[in-house]
Chains A and B, each alone.
Chain A
Amino acid sequence: MSTISQFALLFIGGALINNILLTRFIGLCPFFGVSGNMETSMGMSLAVVFVMMMASTATWVVWEFVLAPLGVGEFLYIPAFILIIASLVQFVEMYLRKASPVLYRAMGIFLPLITTNCAVLATATEAAKPGFFKLNIPVGASLSLGQALIYTLGVSIGFGFALITFAALRERLELAAVPRAFKGSPIAFITAGLLSLAYVGFSGWFGL
């Protein structure tokens, strides 16, 4: 399989077929938390792309050059990755606040919210140490850094796409005559369920 088609499969597999929100059901707190408003969900999507890319790079390097060679990866990877991701994001947030106020305003408030988010941890873990999601991606036992980053880009864009889609749906729900008992979160959960039903159509694409 050529490199290009491997990259394409990693991207589509991460973004649509194994959409982290709607088929894996990971990272649902930001999915329901910020989707009430279009602007915040856009800021959140941007922040997730940014953080996931950084986190995957960091965890890939740490796994490849520290944890795996020392033979401690199998039982130390979760605490190690959480610490690395959380501290990295905090440092970047401090740096952004000083260096780039525009970027900070666009996504700054979301950075602390997702430092220890499960979706970020799951994606960074999968990029460094594939096997958790049991993705049937024909690339061998481990990903190269380039493959890990393409995969992470796919997952984070899939996250943002699902979040923005859901925000647009919820905006329409505001005007719907939903029975009182179902207003707000209940109908949002049902809508997410129906959206997830639509994503069932992607299961098995390319044998993934």
Chain B
Amino acid sequence: MDDAIESRVVGPSPHIAAPTTCTHIMLWVVAALAPSALWAVVTMGWVAAQLLLICIGVALATEYVWNAIARRPQTLTDGSALVTGLLLAMSLPPRTPWWVAAAAALVAIGLAKQLFGGLGHNLFNPALVGRAFVAVSWAGVFAAAPSRGWFQTLPEVTAEGFDAISGATRLAVAAADRAASGAYGFDLAAQYQPLLWRNLEGSLGEISAALLIAGGLLLIVRGIIDWRIPAGYIGTMALVSWAFGADALFHILAGGVMLGAFFMATDYVSSPMSKTGRFAYGVGCGLFNAVGRFVGAMPESTTFAILFMNGLAPLIDRMTRPRTFGWVKRDA
């Protein structure tokens, strides 16, 4: 299990052993996501905890069973299955039926990761494959979950009668408004505060953009993720939203952009290796995500934008291959 550290220069020995291991990196990612996950459990209640437990449990179980059957060394302790399960749960709406969440975790670890050879060999982000798989297979479940308004079934909400809370996510409402009249029927700027701190509509990971940004910055400062991917992603997202005549800040705070840009797109294995390539990859994610929101059939397209760019990552790597020091670029 090789530890993927950016721009490592291998000189002649003696070498200094670094304490950074795969487990170390994975646990930092968990630590960066933990505040958001805990806040989701606190505000959304038991449904969020249930979803987290199912996704992480099934992910770990699939990893264990696969390794046992394939007679490979057990890899539960490297933490990668834990991160996949956690990311998957954060990408799902809280009232996802348990069997849909379990199927997503099974596909994420079994199909997208272990079938390709385990950690370090997956071509696509496992959590996103799991999410896309269930989103396409049980589209009705996903479409029904937000419009029904899961929180209305919570006892304290029905008791207090919050009749002003809409069931659909802000992005879905914005998309419907745009399709109906070309203008927004609600004040976008007034949504910054709820989106930043406490947003009950949408997936677990949409609970608080501020906590995700804090977690992402922590990972950047620790040198665990490359700033180029989120910077390219969020920057392009804002620019394209602005070009479409929309509120750029609303569009980067709403939906899965923060979770996608800091935690999904930055997966080492499925993102490009070179620095230029990473920036281009981030820009591509932002471009497809933003354009998908404005011209697509779905209000959100983070999952598919990142999966599409995962597919392009090997090609980007080929095109941005760095020049070997001392060698002259050969004319093709």
Partner of A169, one of B132, B291, B296, B311: B311
Do A165 and B311 touch (CB < 8 A)? yes
Interface stretch of the complex, out of A63-71, A73-81, A127-135, A170-178? A170-178
B308/A177 in contact, CB under 8 A: no
Q: How far is the CA of A207 from the CA of B312 in the complex (A)?
A: 25
Cβ contact within 8 Å between B314 and A168: yes
Q: How far is the CA of A140 from the CA of B121 in the complex (A)?
A: 47
B123 touches A194 (CB 8 A): yes
- Name the residue on A nearest B312 (C-beta): A165
B111, B117, B304, B314: the one contacting A201 at CB < 8 Å is B304
Closest residue of A by beta carbon distance from B119: A177
What B residues does A204 contact at CB under 8 A?
Answer: 296-298
- Flag whether B118 is at the interface (Cβ < 8 A): yes
| Least CB separation from B316: chain A residue | A168
If over half of B's interface residues share one DSSP class (helix, strand or loop), that class is named, otherwise mixed; here it is: helix
Interface residues of B in 289-304 (CB under 8 A from A): 291-292, 295-298, 301, 303-304
CB contact between B136 and one of A38, A165, A195, A200 (< 8 Å): that residue: A200
Bound CA span A164–B315, Å: 8
Contact check: which of B296, B310, B318 meets A198 at CB < 8 Å? B310
- Please, how many angstroms separate the alpha-carbon atoms of A168 and B312 in the complex? 8
Tell which of A172, A176, A177, A205 touches B292, judged by Cβ atoms closer than 8 Å.
A205
Quick check: A168 and B117 within 8 Å, CB to CB? Answer: no
B307: Cβ under 8 A from any A Cβ: yes
- Check: B157 CB closer than 8 A to any chain A CB: no
Given contacts A194-B112, A194-B124, contact A205 B296 (CB under 8 A): yes
* Contact A177-B118, Cβ < 8 Å, known A200-B136, A201-B292: yes
Say whether, besides A165-B315, A169-B123, A179-B70, A201 and B307 are in contact (CB < 8 Å).
yes
Give the interface size bracket for B toward A.
20 to 34
The answer to whether A179 and B115 touch across the interface, beta carbons within 8 angstroms, is: yes
Q: Which residues of B contact A165 (CB under 8 A)?
A: 311-312, 314-315
Indicate whether B224 reaches chain A with its CB closer than 8 angstroms. Answer: no
Task: Knowing A178-B115, A197-B132, A201-B304 are in contact, say whether A191-B123 is a contact too (CB < 8 A).
Answer: yes
Interface residue B83 (Cβ < 8 Å from any Cβ of A): no
CB-defined contacts of B258 to chain A, threshold 8 Å: none
A204 to B295, CA, bound (A): 8
User: In the bound complex, do residue A177 and residue B129 qualify as a contact, i.e. CB atoms below 8 Å apart?
Assistant: no
* Distance from B243 Cβ to chain A, minimum over Cβ atoms (Å): 16
Interface residues of B in 16-52 (CB under 8 A from A): none
B305: CB under 8 A from chain A? yes
Chain A min CB distance to B215 (Å): 26
Known: A194-B123, A197-B136. A169 touches B314 (CB 8 A): yes
- Does B116 have its Cβ within 8 Å of any Cβ on chain A? yes
B133 at the binding interface (Cβ < 8 Å): yes
Nearest Cβ on chain B to A157's Cβ, whole angstroms: 15
A50 within 8 A of B: no
B116, A187: Cβ atoms under 8 Å? yes
Within the complex, what minimum Cβ distance (angstroms) separates B330 from chain A?
Answer: 16
Known: A168-B314, A168-B318, A205-B292. A199 touches B117 (CB 8 A): no
- Closest B residue to A207 by beta carbon equals B297
Contact B308 A179 (CB under 8 A): no
Q: In the complex the two chains form, is A178's CB within 8 Å of B117's CB?
A: yes
Q: Are B307 and A176 in contact (CB under 8 A)?
A: no
A208 to chain B, nearest CB (A): 10
By the criterion CB–CB under 8 Å, are A197 and B133 in contact? yes
Interface assignment of A185: CB less than 8 Å from any CB of chain B: no
Please state if B121 and A176 are interface contacts (CB–CB under 8 Å). Answer: yes
CA distance A179 to B136 in the complex (A): 27
Contact A177:B121 (CB < 8 A) given known A194-B112, A204-B296, A205-B297: yes
**A206 located at the interface, meaning its Cβ lies under 8 Å from any Cβ of chain B in the complex:** yes
Chain A, Cβ-Cβ closest to B301: A201
* CB–CB A179/B304 < 8 A: no
Is B116 a contact of A176 with CB atoms below 8 Å?
yes
Contacts of B315 in A (CB 8 A): 164-165, 168
Closest Cβ of chain B to A201, distance in Å, is: 2
Q: Which residues of B contact A199 (CB under 8 A)?
A: 304, 308
Question: How distant is the Cα of A205 from the Cα of B292 in the complex, in angstroms?
Answer: 7
In Å, the complex CA distance between A168 and B118 comes to 19
User: Within 8 Å of chain A (Cβ to Cβ): is B263?
Assistant: no
Give 15 pairs: A residue, B residue, CB < 8 Å, sorted on A: A165-B314, A168-B318, A169-B311, A175-B121, A176-B116, A177-B121, A178-B116, A182-B115, A194-B112, A194-B123, A194-B129, A197-B136, A198-B132, A198-B304, A201-B296
Give 3 nearest A-B pairs by CB, closest first: A201-B304, A204-B297, A177-B117
* Beyond A165-B312, A169-B311, A194-B112, 16 additional pairs, beta carbon < 8 A: A165-B311, A165-B315, A168-B315, A168-B317, A172-B123, A175-B121, A179-B117, A197-B129, A200-B136, A201-B288, A201-B296, A201-B303, A201-B304, A202-B292, A205-B291, A207-B297
